[in-house]
Amino acid sequence: MRPAPLLLLLSQAPLLLLLLLISGCLNTCGAIQWLGLYKLEARADRPVQSNFCQAMQSRMIFDLSQAKFCKKWTRRAAKAAIVSSLIEASKQTLALCQQQFRGFRWNCGVLEHVPELAPELRTLTAEQALVHAMSGFVLATTLANDCARGVIANCPCGAEPRWLRARWPEVRFSLEGCHTNLRMGQRLARQFLGFAGKRKRARRRRPRGRRTVKTFDRFVKKVNRHNYRVGIRATKHSEAVRCKCHGSSASCTIRTCHKVLHQRGIQMIPSAYVRRYEDDPIDFLINLYDKQNLRRTIFDERGYQGYEERCTEADRQAGSNPLAAKPLCESYKVVPGLPRASVLLFKEHSLDYCSRREDVYPGTSNRECLPDGSPEAQQILASDTGERRREILCSVMCCGRPYRNVTVSYPGNHPDCKAKSCRLLQNPFRVDCQPCVLSKSFCS
């Protein structure tokens, strides 16, 4: 007997549901699954397997346009080249994010599960926005540096940094080598992420902010794209040159320099001249996570309406004039279009990240924190660095649960030990680091 069509359909229901879930995610997850590349080994000197791009796509790591980009570039070059840059960028995004967010309740640990997405990476949360911005930044930086290093084939050197002489007219610089091509890095990053060139067309066709975005999927893409762009644009903060002195050792009359992009904080590069000292790119990225740099988007049954902005004094005055047609602006107004400023967009409010989610993603148990009474904590409380940075205090990190004090012994070469217990010996010259015992606190 033939089964009835309906029965057949029912027996396939789990599969159908799965397909629906997957395709639903494809549209709304926002294509950060490429960070799942971090588990692979980056080897620029090896050929890529012929089915690599296809395999990444079927493992949900690449979306369709990323797989196309991958195919185009691996067809052109025999070696892994750009693929190794992508892998490197994913590794560095994870390392950077986890290192920088140690002191926050949300510590970026969920990226280790990608392409599996934690709940906060499936919707438009501040955390998802931050991951987009940070990975866009690292991707553009890595591609620009690899381009200059000759890793990526057919990638030209960048222009001489003119800002250098304009900013330090009194210093004699001699520039050498292949300069980092920041523009190329940014362009390749946009191409890989699937939105190269679209902005120019859009700009010509319509004044900013007029067209409404109707469907939710397109709205999600638009928000993700904006957040990626903020990160990619931030790479301009990291243009620098690294110099060597010539002439008698003290005078340093001529410096030979080559252009670099840095992403680990200015203080990490000795003898560097940085384009914009005031904006350390890392501080810039972390500050984006603070509430004042996040804007909530409004999407309703009419489509995308815009993003919220605090009312200014002028708005309040215009509203209080009974003759003006403007509605009263009490706390927030909705601004159509996308913000020009480097602010991140979100829609869903974040979880508190205190407790375990979906049995997989840990809360703040066993996380390190600073006792509120400690001098370091007092320093944070006294400074005006934003609300989020206070999350490292035990009272915030542990979400009201108790914490325990533990003394831990570290070997002399441990990073937490180095600052405290290293000294320079005279004879013979060497740095001697003693093991150290530190008192640490952990949430229960």
Ligand X SMILES: *[C@@H]1O[C@H](CO)[C@@H](O)[C@H](O)[C@H]1NC(C)=O
Contacts with ligand X, residue ranges (CB under 6 A) = 371, 373-374, 405, 439, 441
Tell me how far, at minimum, the Cβ of 389 lies from ligand X, in Å: 19
Distance separating alpha carbons of residues 247 and 172, to the nearest angstrom: 12
Tell me how far, at minimum, the Cβ of 401 lies from ligand X, in Å: 11
- When the beta carbons of 68 and 440 are compared against ligand X, the nearer one is 440
- When the beta carbons of 323 and 419 are compared against ligand X, the nearer one is 419
373 vs 365, 380, 414, CA distance in Å? 20, 11, 26
Tell me how far, at minimum, the Cβ of 45 lies from ligand X, in Å: 50
- When the beta carbons of 194 and 371 are compared against ligand X, the nearer one is 371
299 vs 21, 212, 214, 227, CA distance in Å? 22, 10, 9, 17
- When the beta carbons of 279 and 372 are compared against ligand X, the nearer one is 372
Tell me how far, at minimum, the Cβ of 354 lies from ligand X, in Å: 19
Tell me how far, at minimum, the Cβ of 382 lies from ligand X, in Å: 17
Q: Which H or E run contains 439?
A: strand 436-443
- When the beta carbons of 176 and 376 are compared against ligand X, the nearer one is 376
Confirm if 363 and 354 have CB atoms less than 8 A apart. yes
Spatial neighbors of 324 by CB under 8 A, at least 6 apart, are: 318
Tell me how far, at minimum, the Cβ of 411 lies from ligand X, in Å: 23
- When the beta carbons of 383 and 405 are compared against ligand X, the nearer one is 405
The first and second tokens of residue 263, run together, are: 């992403």
- When the beta carbons of 14 and 373 are compared against ligand X, the nearer one is 373
Spatial neighbors of 422 by CB under 8 A, at least 6 apart, are: 412, 431, 432, 433, 434
Q: Exposed, middle or buried, 375 (CB in 10 Å: 0-12/13-18/19+)?
A: exposed
The first and second tokens of residue 205, run together, are: 């066709």
Rg (CA), the chain: 25
Length of the chain: 444
Tell me how far, at minimum, the Cβ of 371 lies from ligand X, in Å: 4
